[in-house]
């Protein structure tokens, strides 16, 4: 990921509307969506997977270059084991069912976070999907799994320290771009817009470094109700913001 104030110029679509290059979403509110309908929480997560599908399709149509979704945080292990198992089941199902279409649409699948700690069959599905789509040239679809921004920064710091210890890196040369090059998002465009659904206004350890110059948008919609129209509304709100990167 390049320096935020450097080439972080949001692209313009042919129609003149400003389109963010990289959008990230904290998909929140699945449980509340289900509760309102007297349904089990898994029903909310299932509907959340539908919202994900619609949003991914719409993002591609709008010309967004990268879409990063917070699917499972490093803190989500604190949830009841039954809910964790439900979420992992949904992830398995999603990876098996959607990868053909993702690949057919030229999308590149990435995972950020320490996903190798998930069940080995899920790790294998992810690695297979990443390898299969790596040569595509379309949108980057990024799923954050067992992701925590502080952990990501700690891992980058550790990598730099190892390189300094082995003599391949001069500590005096470490700057923001050296850290960015070691983050999980290193191959993605700069983050332009970070959306959180369900009315909560927190970052919850998501993309803390990358959000330095991103526009933040908190919307009341519960994630299972999110779709292409909601994304278009968020993109329009982004287009109306003035970005100054610390300048005037």
Q: Which of 76, 136, 204, 205 binds ligand FPP (CB under 6 A)?
A: 76
23 near ligand FPP, judged by CB under 6 A? no
Query: For ligand FPP, which stretch binds (CB under 6 A), given 42-50, 154-162, 185-193, 239-247?
Result: 42-50
Torsion of Cα atoms, 109 then 114 then 119 then 124, to 10°:
40
Q: Give backbone dihedrals phi and psi of 51, rounded to 5 degrees, phi first.
A: -60, -40
* The only residue of 22, 23, 25, 30 in contact with ligand FPP, by rule CB under 6 A: 30
Helices (H), the chain: 30-36, 41-62, 81-104, 120-133, 149-165, 176-180, 228-239
Burial-class residue 38 by CB neighbours within 10 Å (0-12, 13-18, 19+).
Answer: exposed
Stretch that binds ligand FPP, among 47-55, 126-134, 149-157, 171-179 (CB under 6 A): 47-55
> Which residue in 7, 28, 114, 184 is the catalytic one?
28
Near ligand FPP in 128-167, by CB under 6 A: 143
Q: Residue 230 interacts with ligand FPP (CB under 6 A)?
A: no
Applying CB under 6 A, does 204 fall inside the site for ligand FPP? no
**Site stretch for ligand FPP (CB under 6 A), options 22-30, 160-168, 181-189, 203-211:** 22-30
The rounded distance, in Å, linking the Cα atoms of 158 and 59 is 34
Task: Determine whether 105 is an active site residue.
Answer: no
Nearest distance from residue 206's CB to ligand FPP, in Å?
11
Closer Cβ to ligand FPP, 4 or 29, answer by number: 29
Question: Does the footprint of ligand FPP cover residue 197 (CB under 6 A)?
Answer: no
Q: How far is the CB of 18 from ligand FPP (least distance, A)?
A: 27
Beta bridge pairs of residue 142: 68, 110
Residue 113 DSSP label: S
Q: Does 126 bind ligand FPP (CB under 6 A)?
A: no
Take residue 99 and report the two structure tokens written for it: 């990868």
Burial state string for 9-32 with b = 16 or more CB within 10 A and e = fewer than 16? ebeeeeeeebbbbbbbbbbbbbbb
Residue 54 interacts with ligand FPP (CB under 6 A): yes or no: no
The yes-or-no answer on residue 146 being catalytic is no
CB neighbours (10 Å) of residue 177? 12
Rounded distance, CA 77 to CA 242, Å? 38
**Shortest distance in whole angstroms from residue 223 CB to ligand FPP:** 6
Query: Is 209 annotated to bind ligand?
Result: no
Residues that bind ligand FPP (CB under 6 A): 27-32, 45, 48-49, 52, 71, 76, 90-91, 94, 143, 198, 223
- The catalytic residues are 28, 76
């Amino acid at each position: 990921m390049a320096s935020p104030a450097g080439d972080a110029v949001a692209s313009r679509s042919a129609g003149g509307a400003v389109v963010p290059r990289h959008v990230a979403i904290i998909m929140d509110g699945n449980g509340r969506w289900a509760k309102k309908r007297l349904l089990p929480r898994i029903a909310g997560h299932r509907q959340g997977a539908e919202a994900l599908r619609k949003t991914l399709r719409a993002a591609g149509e709008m010309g967004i270059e990268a879409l990063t979704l917070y699917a499972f945080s490093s803190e989500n292990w604190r949830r009841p084991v039954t809910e964790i198992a439900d979420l992992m089941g949904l992830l398995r199902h999603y990876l098996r069912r959607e990868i053909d279409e993702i690949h057919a649409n030229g999308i590149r699948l990435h995972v950020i976070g320490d996903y190798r700690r998930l069940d080995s069959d899920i790790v294998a599905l992810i690695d297979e999907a990443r390898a299969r789509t790596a040569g595509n040239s379309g949108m980057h679809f990024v799923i954050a799994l067992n992701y925590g921004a502080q952990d990501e920064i700690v891992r980058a710091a550790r990598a730099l320290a190892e390189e300094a210890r082995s003599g391949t890196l001069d500590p005096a040369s470490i700057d923001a771009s050296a850290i960015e090059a070691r983050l999980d998002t290193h191959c993605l465009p700069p983050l332009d817009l970070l959306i959180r659904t369900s009315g909560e206004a927190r970052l919850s350890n998501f993309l803390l470094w990358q959000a330095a110059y991103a526009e933040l948008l908190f919307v009341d919609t519960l994630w299972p109700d999110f779709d292409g129209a909601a994304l278009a509304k968020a993109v329009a709100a982004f287009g109306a913001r003035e970005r100054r990167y610390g300048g005037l």
